[in-house]
Amino acid sequence: MRVVAAMSGGVDSAVAAARLLDAGHDVVGVHLALSQSAATLRESARGCCTLEDAGDARRVADRLGIPFYVWDMAARFRSDVVEDFVEEYSAGRTPNPCLRCNERIKFAALLDKALALGFDAVATGHYAQVREVADGRGGIRRELHRAVDQAKDQSYVLGVLDAEQLARSFFPLGDTTKPQIRAEAAARGFAVAKKPDSHDICFIADGDTRGWLARRLGERPGEIVDEAGEVVGEHQGAYAYTVGQRRGLHLGRPSGDGTPRYVTEVDVARNRVVVGPAELLGIDALRGDHVRWCGEPPVGQVRVGAQLRAHGAELPATAWIEDGTEDGTGAGVEDGVEGGELQVRLDERTRGVAPGQSVVLYDGTRVVGSATIAQAWRA
């Protein structure tokens, strides 16, 4: 197959490209230029897509003897990921930009361009597995599963992929641990074998999300109140807070019993942040929109594992779709296409779930689908 290997300049995508080549595929390396002002040198392990990263990717491609290109997707990344991030925070929600990037850039814009140029698939260095299984109708379907290395598993941020995208995706690292990948990179002579992983939000290289948002949204002073409505502090913009947050509140009045207080609500319309004790954070019911399925939608109520954060625990739950049809099957909805609202009931309460986050559903190690959390409450 003719495959585009997305090469970030890190060790994971380098080994992924090499493994594709070893498997006999016709591989072309592509580095995505996502920043319109890429720094010459990386200042820390935060961020990615710098000129240094592009150079690292090119050197790996040269060592492999494969063609290498840089595709400029900075404008698409800005509109589909960065501006979406700002809009979500300004509306009082807490988005996950990595999921948006996978959905709209790597497995939409990149995949669409690759297919238009005659390629068959796209490969990345994500830690996840694709398994081919019989579909019961004489054919084969592809399923997305967790990686062998649970500490590095990235199936959560791939939960936005639909069946058609999954059919044209390769994740060559899913059966290997990170230490093994670094050892393999060193054995292949890749200079990136010891390169630190990028982390956090790639377009906020210094990690100061609040400051980054303030420069774009401006300061909007307002009140921080407790669960009774009493003013206990001030803020410079409700958009900078998220449900479950404890640090950085700078409250002028301590709680009556001296216990810590957490953000329990972000009311952007009233520019108000509500804080309260930890027990007010406990929720066991979710409603999600922007539903995506990695295959056929489930029928009726199903038992699933629900993961609410990229590195969070999987929680036992029951899920179903409310879409206006009598049986909840999503009649007329094609595989992978959002339709209806996802309802999730957790077996036990959990804390710190904010609107805008994503819930990804699992059946064992298989990814069932995902949704953006619109509301979380105590059932």
The answer to whether 198 and 219 are in contact (CB under 8 A) is no
Q: Is the pLDDT of residue 333 over 50?
A: no
pLDDT, tens digit (0-9, with 9 covering 90-100), for 98-135: 999 999 999 999 999 999 999 999 999 999 999 998 88
User: Residue type for 187, please?
Assistant: A
- Res 16 pLDDT > 60: yes
Who wins on pLDDT, 330 or 38? 38
pTM, to two decimals = 0.90
The CATH class that applies to domain 281-377 reads: mainly beta
CA distances from 267 to 87, 250, 374 (A): 15, 18, 14
Task: Report pLDDT for 49.
Answer: 67
Cβ proximity of 297 and 370 under 8 Å: no
User: Is position 101 annotated as part of the catalytic site?
Assistant: yes
Extents of the domains making up the chain: 2-125+172-194, 219-280, 281-377
Could you tell me which CATH number the domain at 219-280 has?
Answer: 2.30.30.280
- pLDDT above 90: percentage of residues in the chain: 75
Residue 216 is predicted with a pLDDT of: 93
Range 269-278 average pLDDT: 93
Distance (Å, whole) CA 26 – CA 135: 28
Of 250 and 46, which is predicted with more confidence?
A: 250
Catalytic residue among 48, 49, 98, 101: 101
Q: What average pLDDT does range 335-362 have in this prediction?
A: 87
Choice among 89-98, 105-114, 316-325, 364-373 with the minimum mean pLDDT: 316-325
Active site residue 202: yes
What average pLDDT is seen over the chain? Answer: 90
- Judge whether residue 362 has pLDDT over 90: yes
pLDDT in tens, 33-90: 987 665 544 444 445 667 889 999 999 999 999 999 999 999 999 999 999 999 999 9
For residue 48, the model assigns a pLDDT of: 60
Rounded to whole angstroms, the Cα distance separating 211 from 124 reads 31
Q: What is the CATH number of domain 2-125+172-194?
A: 3.40.50.620
Q: What is the 3-state secondary structure (H, E, C) of the chain?
A: CEEEEECCCCHHHHHHHHHHHHCCCEEEEEEEECCCCCCCCCCCCECCCCHHHHHHHHHHHHHHCCCEEEEECHHHHHHHHHHHHHHHHHCCCCCCHHHHHHHHHHHHHHHHHHHHCCCCEEECCCCCEEEEEECCCCCEEEEEECCCCCCCCCCHHHCCCCHHHHCCEECCCCCCCHHHHHHHHHHCCCHHHHCCCCECCCCCCCCCHHHHHHHHHCCCCEEEECCCCCEEEEECCHHHCCCCCCCCCCCCCCCCCCCCCEEEEEECCCCEEEEECHHHHCEEEEEEEEEEECCCCCCCCEEEEEECCCCCCEEEEEEEEECCCCCCCCCCCCCCCCCCEEEEEEEEEECCCCCCCEEEEEECCEEEEEEEEEEEECC
Contact in structure between 378 and 264 (CB atoms under 8 Å): no
Tens digit of each residue's pLDDT (9 = 90 or more) over 145-204:
999 999 999 999 999 999 999 999 999 999 999 999 999 999 999 999 999 887 668 888
Identify the pLDDT of residue 201: 84
State how far the alpha carbon of 48 is from the alpha carbons of 31, 127, 204, 310, 372, in Å.
11, 18, 10, 18, 25
Q: Which of 48, 49, 98, 202 is catalytic?
A: 202
